[in-house]
Structure 1
């Protein structure tokens, strides 16, 4: 913190695949390919630190339709204010609702700026709720499941479903 002034200083950090694998453990999404990068400019504003930057990384998650790998490219601009933890308000209640002013404020110890949690949060926020390998993904079909056959052996079929199977076979003809 002592090396920062109002003019600021630029930093370039690699975002290691091994680190991302660890912080996203238990998440369906994970790293793919090579290391990403975090480019930031830190500048001092009194006791606060203004952080402007860009996070670039690539994740992969199973497609919600076909379960094939869906690539999630991340190229996100970062902009937030780091304030000494002594000045930031700690939530008293278990359920705390942040105000708009608090949304882009991150506490730090007053001396060391650590961006790990910010990068982790940004990666998690960029994972779509329904990842798709492509917008026009048709989804799974009976033939796409390895070892699956489109024909259902009648001896393993519930007898109550036989009329539906006959109806299906009529539609094919």
Structure 2
């Protein structure tokens, strides 16, 4: 939660906030994550506008993953940007009968809780979208051997398994070797 009282509600006022926070639960995709309990850095710019508070921010942290080719563990820096409008809550007196029409739009909006911003869902979405879907330990990672599972980077270029033919295809191989016999 970020307190906006110092910002005020005067449009045009601006304030920057830098924080280091602990991740309450892992922010993850299938192959990469920012683990639970790790720290992320938030750089925030809060701007008061007519409708609410515009938050522009950057999240930095450390991600852990496994290479999608060779399955080696890896760690890398992660950075994600976001921008979100937090609207002031409307007084009950200001609501009109047409407010029901905007109910679907309101579900997508974020609102100030008094003078506090709940940044957790916005930061979570930004981080998860910034995580790599197929992380690699290096751009030239050759991966694993499809036959034995050995790391191709370690076994060398002469690694092979010969002509391992599935015995179910042996009859067809005989036809291919001597097409004249039928």
TM-score tier by shorter-chain length is 0.5 to 0.7
2:179 alignment partner in structure 1: none
Q: In the aligned structure 1, how far is the partner of 2:134 from the partner of 2:29?
A: 17
Choose from 23, 28, 31 the match for 2:34: 31
CA distance in 1, matches of 2:30, 2:133: 12
Q: Name the CA distance, whole Å, in 1 between partners of 2:29 and 2:51.
A: 37
Q: Give the secondary-structure state (helix, strand or coil) at the position aligned to 2:81.
A: strand
1:131-150 equivalences in 2 (<5 Å): 131-141=135-145, 142=148, 143-144=150-151
Unaligned runs of 5+ in 1: 97-101, 164-173
RMSD over equivalenced CA pairs, Å: 3.8
Q: For 1:135 and 1:107, how far apart are their aligned partners in 2?
A: 42
Alignment match, 1:170:
none
Matched, 1:56 2:56: no
- Structure 2: 5+ residue runs without aligned partners? 153-159, 172-182
1:3-34 deviation digits (Å, cap 9, x = unpaired): 21332222122132x52xx1436854223696
2:124 to 109, 116, 120: 120
SS in 1 for 2:115: coil
> Conserved in 2, the CA contact under 8 Å of 1:24 and 1:30?
yes
Instruction: Report the structure number with the largest CA radius of gyration.
Output: 2
Matched, 1:107 2:111: yes
Quote how far apart the aligned CAs of 1:65 are. Answer: 1.1
Look up the SS of the partner of 2:123 in the other structure: helix
Structure 2 length normalisation: TM-score? 0.60
Q: Distance in 1 between matches of 2:63 and 2:76?
A: 5
Query: In the aligned structure 2, how far is the partner of 1:114 from the partner of 1:25?
Result: 20
Tell me the SS of whatever aligns to 2:104: coil
Residue 72 of structure 1 contacts residue 127 of structure 1 at CA under 8 Å; is this kept in 2?
Answer: no
Alignment equivalent of 1:40, drawn from 34, 44, 53: 44
One of 8, 15, 18 as aligned partner of 2:21: 15
Shift of 1:45: 1.4
How many residue pairs were aligned?
A: 145
Shift of 1:51: 1.1
